[in-house]
Structure 1
Amino acid sequence: MASIALPQFKAPQVDLRGVFRSPAVGLGAAAALFVGCVFALVNLLGPVGGGATEVRVPLGGGHAPAGWREALKPVHGQPHTYRDVVRLSERPLAPGAGAPAAHSASAPAYSGPGLAAAPIAGFYAPGPGGPLPIIAQDGRTPAQAYARPFTANGRPKVALVVGGLGLNARATRQAIETLRPEVTLSFVVYAEGLQGWIDMARAHGHEVLLETPMEPVDYPDNDPGPYTLMAAGQPPETVKKLEWILSRATGYFGLTNYLGSRFLGVDTAYNAFASSVKARGLAFIDDGSAARRGGGMSRATAERVIDDKLSGPAIDQQLAALEAGALQRGQALGSGFAYPVTLEKVASWANEVEQRGYQLAPASALTAKR
């Protein structure tokens, strides 16, 4: 695919919601808005991946609205392999800016307590597309084996999941290297070099979740990708897609939803998902979309999204509300997205929250069977 050398400039913010659905908008205007969105994404997030400067173009809304889900295109003859649609420049990135190799010794040195390298013997078995998590013979689960160890000290517990990781190398490294290891990180299942990112995160002490794409109410306008769990899908289809997702990497203690407002509201769909997750000994943490759902798994629900309003003061306010919730109920879980301002605010907050009488906890410490 030919590359296009384009100058860098700061593009104006453009709200594209509904624009491309209108028959009154011509192809020329749509293309101009598309390019403007791409430029804005490059300036906001920086280069993606390794080698050439690439961008993964946004497909729609949800909590992670601008630029983190891929525009995907099948590679010739390989129906399950995808590549970027847009390449902006052939300028190389800084050394080490791409995804690390799996189990790579070249990952930055870390002096803190890392987690055990994955996979851990006894907690996986071969699957049709790669290793799949299993419950060990002694009854221990992958949710237990891959969670960050935690000992409560009696203080109110606050936990945070930061998601959308793996597609943008700069933001992913920033999250792994600058956030406290108690902060749980969740990774996009379509990310290239996924196992390398998970290995690096665990080496820095972070426990990890995989983001499971689920059907939203506005599907297909908002399409989470080719392995989306569909509300109308038959249980065998749901299980088959889920096994592909689970086989993408090892070392995660559980799953979290990506979108899913329709899928999570349908009993047959959710029950097929929950039964499979429970049978493999994994946890499920949702962003609030499945607060009333159980299924016999280790479960937790984020009570607030800290960066729905993308500004520093708004994020500070949500983090303060998270602390208030922990003080009232003994624990509180929040979620956020790997925007630059979110990473900056979370890093500062996590370094200070224990001075105010709280205990920073991994998300796994707030799960319970239900």
Structure 2
Amino acid sequence: MARKAPSKARKSPLPPFLSNPFVLALAAVAAVFAVALGVATLTGGGSGGGSGGRAGGDAAKPAPVQQAAQPAVQPPPVPTAKVEPPAAPSSAAPSSAVAQPETDAPGNAVAEKPAQVESRPAATVVAMLPPPVAPAQPPQVQAPPGNAALWRKNALPAEVPQGKPMIAIVIDDMGLDRKRSTRMAGLRGPLTLSWLPYARDLPVQARAARANGHELMLHMPMEPSVKADPGPNALLVSLDRGEIVKRARAALDSFDGYVGVNNHMGSRFTADRQALAPVLAELHRRGLLWLDSRTTPNSAGIGLAREMKMPWVGRDIFLDNQETVAAVKAQLAKTEQVAKRQGYAVAIGHPHDATIDALASWLPEVQKRGFVLVPVSAVVRTHHAGG
């Protein structure tokens, strides 16, 4: 009996409203709402949590923009932006970041670097270009000024009375035929004797002629347009520029004391402007004059000499196309006519017997007829002194 009393106490009845099912349902809903409200409060709460969620979403957007902006400085910029998240707001940001270096480079430090890299090579290339008005050729062909020019230094002194026509007699092919060359050099002068560079004992022969009162020239072998042999190491149009200059320099170094150069044969070579130009440039560089033998009417020699402003003169008469004394004397008479007309004349002959004999009788009489016999340098100095 004593054990039943406690069980009666446990079975004490609940208040009537708690036993109502509707009230129990409302309590359950309130409990769920309270739990939800507590969770919302912990994460930011209520309506403020909603705005915080949007702010967090906006704050997260710069991450894709920054990731897309970094590849923009690396080639290529576009593929990296395409791999980024597919969300529309994120894909729009990389496209604006890629376009910014073109439209707003001053506000973007990264965009200024490519602009500087592009400008530096252009400035470097311009700085390395040679000056437009400083070609290499003029210093190489500039002759020494005034009396320092070699042709003036080696010129035979000559007095030219004012108003008297001058005649210069040039004898080519000197040195090969020693006997006839010696006879020619023994004539009364002054004559201008032009020596082939491959003659034997050339320095000895030339010095003896100079001591006898004659002026010296070098007779440069050049390619003819006909089948004829101009001699060893002649200048040919088929040679490259380097070989032409090499052969010309070898000939120029064969002896010294001469005033200039005229062409031996050379009807083909002198007509080739490109082949002849480096030869005249070398003459001008050394301070020598150019006598164009005019073996062809197409010679570029005088035109080039004028352009280079170097001393030059051209042949007027050939004396001995016919090797007879009468023919040579007839050509000497034509030489006098040219001298009267233009104030000077340059005649070219060769050490032939007929030429030597004709000159031997003509030379003592020419001055009596009012002409002045001069070396070729006097004609150049008076009429065509270009350097």
Question: How many angstroms does 1:135 deviate by?
Answer: 6.2
CA distance in 2, matches of 1:136, 1:280: 8
Structure-2 change in CA distance of 1:298 and 1:136 (3 Å)? closer
1:143, 1:283 within 8 Å by CA — same for their partners in 2?
Answer: yes
Structure 1 partner of 2:321: 308
2:193 to 174, 185, 188: 185
What aligned pairs does 1:1-370 form with structure 2 within 5 A after superposition?
Answer: 140-154=148-162, 155-177=164-186, 179-218=187-226, 221-289=227-295, 290=299, 292-295=302-305, 296-367=309-380, 368-369=384-385
What SS does the corresponding residue of 1:342 show, helix, strand or coil?
helix
Question: How many angstroms does 1:223 deviate by?
Answer: 2.2
Structure-2 change in CA distance of 1:139 and 1:147 (3 Å)? closer
Residue type at the aligned position of 2:200: E
Unaligned runs of 5+ in 1: 1-133
CA distance in 2, matches of 1:180, 1:302: 21
2:219, 2:261 within 8 Å by CA — same for their partners in 1?
Answer: yes
Residue type at the aligned position of 1:356: R
TM-score after normalising by structure 2: 0.58
**Runs of 4+ that moved beyond 4 A:** 134-139
1:109-140 Cα deviation digits (max 9, x unpaired): xxxxxxxxxxxxxxxxxxxxxxxxx9669861
Unaligned runs of 5+ in 2: 1-141
Structure 2 partner of 1:54: none
Residue type at the aligned position of 2:165: P
What SS does the corresponding residue of 1:265 show, helix, strand or coil?
coil
CA RMSD of aligned residues (A): 1.8
1:38-77 Cα deviation digits (max 9, x unpaired): xxxxxxxxxxxxxxxxxxxxxxxxxxxxxxxxxxxxxxxx
Question: How many angstroms does 1:226 deviate by?
Answer: 2.6
TM-score after normalising by structure 1: 0.60
CA distance in 1, matches of 2:145, 2:272: 33
- Higher relative helix content: 2
The structure whose Rg is larger is 2
2:185, 2:214 within 8 Å by CA — same for their partners in 1?
Answer: yes
Question: How many angstroms does 1:363 deviate by?
Answer: 1.0
CA distance in 2, matches of 1:232, 1:273: 15
- Higher relative strand content: 1
1:287, 1:305 within 8 Å by CA — same for their partners in 2?
Answer: no
Question: How many angstroms does 1:247 deviate by?
Answer: 1.1
Question: How many angstroms does 1:229 deviate by?
Answer: 0.8
* Aligned length, in residue pairs: 234
Question: How many angstroms does 1:350 deviate by?
Answer: 1.3
1:288, 1:304 within 8 Å by CA — same for their partners in 2?
Answer: no
1:135, 1:141 within 8 Å by CA — same for their partners in 2?
Answer: yes
